[in-house]
Chains A and B, each alone.
Chain A
Amino acid sequence: MSETLESAIRDISQACGNDRSRMMDIVEAVQAKYGCVSGEAMDLIAKQVSTHRVEVESVVSFYAFLSEQPKGKVVIRLCDDIIDEMKGSESVAEAFKQELGIDFGETTPDGVITLEKTPCIGMCDQAPAALINNEIITYLSSDLAREIVRKLKKNPDPKKLVGRLGDGNNASHLVHSMVHNNIRLAGEVIFSEMAPGAGLKNALALNPQEVIRDVKTARLRGRGGAGFPTGMKWDFTRQATGDKKYVLCNADEGEPGTFKDRVILTEKSDLMFEGMAIAGYAIGADTGIVYLRGEYAYLRPLLEDVLARRRNDNLLGNDVMGKKGFNFDIRIQMGAGAYICGEETALISSCEGLRGDPKNRPPFPAQKGYLGCPTVVNNVETFCKVARILEHGPGWFAKMGSEGSSGTKLLSISGDCAKPGVYEVPFGIKVREVLDLCDAEDTAAVQVGGPSGQMIGMNQFGDSICYEHLATGGSVMVFNSTRDVLTIARKFMEFFVEESCGFCTPCRVGNVLLKEKLDDIIEGKGKSGDLDYLESLGATIKAASRCGLGQTSPNPILTTIKNFRSVYEAKIAAGKVEEGFQPTFDIHAALQTAEGIAGRKSVHA
């Protein structure tokens, strides 16, 4: 056994050129083959790529999809998102537990099936959903969960679980998944017909500066959330000194409630690859990397196929489209379950085979990014927009949308509405119009921009979605009047606690403290002063955290206090047993451990 592990790791490492920076590929391959990266495997990998064992452990222990402890041949990961919960994931969870006879975080005694929860897998429009190895199961019910377990017990091959196939490319043999695109509103930028090469051809007829000029004239801003002007970013990278430069595409799509990139990857990856090639030409890069979240591994064969076709058609490779000296190719880097890796410097760390820790800035990626080289990182949708801008001209694009936010935006809409799915809308659209589009009724709150964005109430439904007012990377979650905003905020805080990289103090510790206080309030143990406590603690976390995660993670609490203060106040008032006495300390709970050890109940408590 040991000998085969040794030779397997030698082969895997050699296939990656024994390159330490390809650590993600190596440990992912070992995990896939053995269900874990054991201590012995870590030693062998370290030897093979000339690093230290603890460095390998450091990487493996960071990512949710990698583990030192053996996992089952089949890993069921139930999506643990607020939307899934609203659609009944709790009864699905119960069914899985009962049928398997294990709890979450456990593996069946025969070592075949592991049951876990995972944050948003990007299927909120077809929730509840689960990831079973690489297969996606949508519209789960407790009956379906039981059936899945019975089937897996007979034949532990998740591929056999895929039921009726979804629409579009989801039904192709390369994807073969149940996932639905749910494209509800196809706008003219992303979802209109495309002829591969149309945008690229126009770009190659210009010089790189002119390409960047066009992107600037279109006033394109990043679609991943932060909204940085794309042309400016490219200009910085083009001007930065370095022989080698890189184009990175952020397909990590981890913000809960966002799934529009998944639909682009399924139906319009050509457009994205084209935008990446244009970026490569503009900044002088010959390599592109798509960082694809582990949850979307099922799309990889399709993407590889599109890449192969583009190579074949000389849309990638040497002298692209006959342009002498312009060489550009793209590879796919798989993530392994870490929201933070969507943050651009953490994404770079992960591509370099490291823990997904964000990096200190400056230097910015445009100066020193992937492997220390000038690097452009853009979102999937941003690259698509670039391809269209070069195809139809910047004026065409800038005419759409609003003054400060040109063009269209893909929204991923989920929650309490009749038509969840993907909508391509012009920037500047009002929340109320969006709610009408998706047939939402009795809406009481909308989370715009995912947990890191803001929860707004009815008095803001007249505001418009754009960079200047309500910014969003695409996530729009709709909640009707039966939902409790505090429970939703708690769910989001659990997410941030789970996903903090832990590098900096305010985010690592502060979010835990925020969540504990919110727990107290929800449990009726709130007291006056708690809201000030939450607000001042939240302010510290936002101000002092090192990256965008901690700088936005208090938002679920801060924006619900701002817009739904009365809900908090009512909860705190209702929890008061009597004036002057609030039961914040539970003596029975505190004594439990000691009583367990002593084997008897405490006399006084």
Chain B
Amino acid sequence: MSNTITFTIDGVEVTGQPGQTIMEAADAAGIYIPRLCALEELSPHGSCRVCTVMVNGRPQAACTQPIADGMVVENDTEQILAIRRDIIDMLFVEGNHFCMFCEKSGNCELQALAYRFGIAAPRFPYLFPKRDIDATHPDIFIDRNRCILCGRCVRASRDIDGKNVFEFVGRGFEKRVAVNAEANLADTDAAATDEAVNVCPTGALLKKRVGYAVPVGQRKYDHKPIGSEIEKK
């Protein structure tokens, strides 16, 4: 058994270590694979499916699929881009996203992905769900209108903060993030210092009173597209 694994992404040879996922190996090689539920510090979830790639001709999630010698991965093809565009569109129409009034604008990974994919408006009709807001906590608020069910907060609270403040309830289209209390975040032991509060890709879980500490125009994705931090490596 050799210690490195060699495979290709869009024809480019990439090497990685046994046990690495396609996404991990691609990151190290400076190849960006779009993602929303994956985050380096968290265990892979495999739920958003934005990272879908073709592996030897079959679709797989790059964030969960381990690499193997000789694997042929397609990342930047018309077919894959169309799938990703559809998924990003789905996330937009599934919630109620009003980026222009959102304090996360410019730091939002969903918004940034839409820009990277050149999506001006989704091709699917909006579903306008009724979603709850929870502003009971003194320092944190939840706006489920913007939640994309990536499960980052669930994993961070459980695996990093050791608190299990968040968990999914309901199933299918009714699925949502609940808190570990009768109803309100204020009744949990959530704190503004929790990692769970930092990991939300959108504006669904935010700290209060710091929304505009960094002005619009100077935010993470205002000048460089999402993924460029990986590609510049």
B87 contacts chain A at the CB level, 8 A cutoff: yes
B202 contacts chain A at the CB level, 8 A cutoff: no
A504-B49, A508-B173 known; A540 and B83 CB under 8 Å? yes
**Bound-complex Cα distance A86 to B41 (A):** 53
- Residues in B neighbouring A504, C-beta threshold 8 A: 46-49
B31 contacts chain A at the CB level, 8 A cutoff: no
B80 closest partner in A (C-beta): A543
A506-B90, A509-B91 known; A57 and B83 CB under 8 Å? no
- Residues in A neighbouring B111, C-beta threshold 8 A: none
Q: Can you list, as one digit per residue, whether each of B161-201 has a CB less than 8 Å from chain A (1) or not (0)?
A: 00011111111111100111110000000000000000000
A62 contacts chain B at the CB level, 8 A cutoff: yes
B82 contacts chain A at the CB level, 8 A cutoff: yes
Chain B interface category by residue count: 35 or more
- Residues in A neighbouring B174, C-beta threshold 8 A: 502
B63 closest partner in A (C-beta): A360
**Bound-complex Cα distance A355 to B94 (A):** 22
B204 to chain A, nearest CB (A): 15
**Bound-complex Cα distance A362 to B60 (A):** 11
Q: Is A508 in contact with B167, judged by CB distance below 8 angstroms?
A: no
A517 closest partner in B (C-beta): B125
Q: Is B125 in contact with A544, judged by CB distance below 8 angstroms?
A: no
Q: Is B164 in contact with A55, judged by CB distance below 8 angstroms?
A: yes
**Bound-complex Cα distance A501 to B48 (A):** 13
A54 contacts chain B at the CB level, 8 A cutoff: yes
Q: Is A505 in contact with B169, judged by CB distance below 8 angstroms?
A: no
Q: Is B172 in contact with A58, judged by CB distance below 8 angstroms?
A: no
Q: Is A54 in contact with B178, judged by CB distance below 8 angstroms?
A: yes
**Bound-complex Cα distance A41 to B182 (A):** 11
Among A39, A508, A516, which residue has the most Cβ atoms of chain B within 10 A? A508
B66 contacts chain A at the CB level, 8 A cutoff: yes
Q: Is A512 in contact with B167, judged by CB distance below 8 angstroms?
A: no
Q: Is A497 in contact with B180, judged by CB distance below 8 angstroms?
A: no
**Bound-complex Cα distance A193 to B177 (A):** 53
A47 to chain B, nearest CB (A): 13
Q: Is B44 in contact with A360, judged by CB distance below 8 angstroms?
A: yes
Question: Restricting to A21-69, which residues have a CB under 8 Å from any CB of B?
Answer: 39, 52-55, 57-58, 61-62
Q: Is A502 in contact with B178, judged by CB distance below 8 angstroms?
A: no
- Residues in B neighbouring A61, C-beta threshold 8 A: 169-171, 178
B134 contacts chain A at the CB level, 8 A cutoff: no
Question: Restricting to B37-82, which residues have a CB under 8 Å from any CB of A?
Answer: 44, 46-50, 52, 59, 61, 64, 66, 82
B127 contacts chain A at the CB level, 8 A cutoff: yes
A509-B93, A546-B49 known; A57 and B167 CB under 8 Å? yes
B188 to chain A, nearest CB (A): 9
A53-B181, A503-B47 known; A360 and B64 CB under 8 Å? yes
Q: Can you list, as one digit per residue, whether each of A462-504 has a CB less than 8 Å from chain B (1) or not (0)?
A: 0000000000000000000000000000000000011111111
B115 contacts chain A at the CB level, 8 A cutoff: no
**Bound-complex Cα distance A77 to B180 (A):** 31
- Residues in A neighbouring B166, C-beta threshold 8 A: 54
- Residues in A neighbouring B46, C-beta threshold 8 A: 360, 504, 546
B140 contacts chain A at the CB level, 8 A cutoff: no
A537 contacts chain B at the CB level, 8 A cutoff: yes
**Bound-complex Cα distance A506 to B165 (A):** 27
**Bound-complex Cα distance A513 to B90 (A):** 9
B117 contacts chain A at the CB level, 8 A cutoff: no
Q: Can you list, as one digit per residue, whether each of A421-445 has a CB less than 8 Å from chain B (1) or not (0)?
A: 0000000000000000000000000
A360-B64, A506-B49 known; A58 and B168 CB under 8 Å? yes
Q: Is A500 in contact with B171, judged by CB distance below 8 angstroms?
A: yes
Q: Is B173 in contact with A54, judged by CB distance below 8 angstroms?
A: no
- Residues in B neighbouring A537, C-beta threshold 8 A: 86, 124
B140 to chain A, nearest CB (A): 16
B79 closest partner in A (C-beta): A543
Q: Is A39 in contact with B182, judged by CB distance below 8 angstroms?
A: yes
Question: Restricting to B143-162, which residues have a CB under 8 Å from any CB of A?
Answer: 148-149
**Bound-complex Cα distance A372 to B81 (A):** 35
A506-B90, A509-B91, A540-B83 known; A355 and B168 CB under 8 Å? yes
- Residues in B neighbouring A508, C-beta threshold 8 A: 94, 149, 172-173, 175
- Residues in B neighbouring A53, C-beta threshold 8 A: 180-181
Contact check: which of A62, A356, A362, A544 meets B170 at CB < 8 Å? A62
**Bound-complex Cα distance A362 to B44 (A):** 12
- Residues in A neighbouring B170, C-beta threshold 8 A: 61-62, 502
Q: Is B87 in contact with A57, judged by CB distance below 8 angstroms?
A: no
A55 to chain B, nearest CB (A): 6
**Bound-complex Cα distance A508 to B31 (A):** 29
Q: Is A54 in contact with B179, judged by CB distance below 8 angstroms?
A: yes
- Residues in B neighbouring A54, C-beta threshold 8 A: 164-167, 169, 178-181
B158 closest partner in A (C-beta): A52
B180 closest partner in A (C-beta): A54
- Residues in A neighbouring B47, C-beta threshold 8 A: 503-505, 546
B48 closest partner in A (C-beta): A505
**Bound-complex Cα distance A162 to B174 (A):** 35
**Bound-complex Cα distance A55 to B166 (A):** 9
Question: Restricting to A328-361, which residues have a CB under 8 Å from any CB of B?
Answer: 338, 340, 355-356, 360
B84 closest partner in A (C-beta): A544
A502-B173, A505-B48, A505-B49 known; A55 and B167 CB under 8 Å? yes
Q: Is B173 in contact with A543, judged by CB distance below 8 angstroms?
A: no
Among B49, B66, B83, B178, which residue has the most Cβ atoms of chain A within 10 A? B49
**Bound-complex Cα distance A510 to B127 (A):** 11
A546 closest partner in B (C-beta): B46
Q: Is A544 in contact with B83, judged by CB distance below 8 angstroms?
A: yes
A276 to chain B, nearest CB (A): 29
Q: Is B87 in contact with A540, judged by CB distance below 8 angstroms?
A: yes
**Bound-complex Cα distance A497 to B178 (A):** 21
A141 contacts chain B at the CB level, 8 A cutoff: no
A585 to chain B, nearest CB (A): 10
**Bound-complex Cα distance A467 to B159 (A):** 43
A138 contacts chain B at the CB level, 8 A cutoff: no
A327 contacts chain B at the CB level, 8 A cutoff: no
Q: Is B90 in contact with A501, judged by CB distance below 8 angstroms?
A: no
Q: List 26 A-B contacts (CB under 8 A).
A: A54-B167, A54-B181, A57-B169, A58-B167, A58-B178, A61-B169, A61-B171, A360-B61, A362-B66, A497-B172, A501-B175, A502-B172, A502-B173, A502-B174, A503-B47, A504-B46, A504-B47, A505-B91, A506-B49, A506-B86, A509-B90, A512-B173, A537-B86, A540-B82, A544-B83, A546-B61
Chain A to chain B: the 7 pairs with minimum beta-carbon distance, closest first: A502-B175, A509-B90, A54-B180, A61-B169, A540-B86, A54-B167, A500-B172
**Sample of 6 more A-B contacts, CB < 8 Å, known A537-B86, A546-B46:** A54-B167, A62-B169, A505-B49, A506-B90, A513-B127, A543-B59
Interface residues of B (CB under 8 A from A): 44, 46-50, 52, 59, 61, 64, 66, 82-83, 86-87, 90-91, 93-94, 124-125, 127, 148-149, 164-175, 178-182
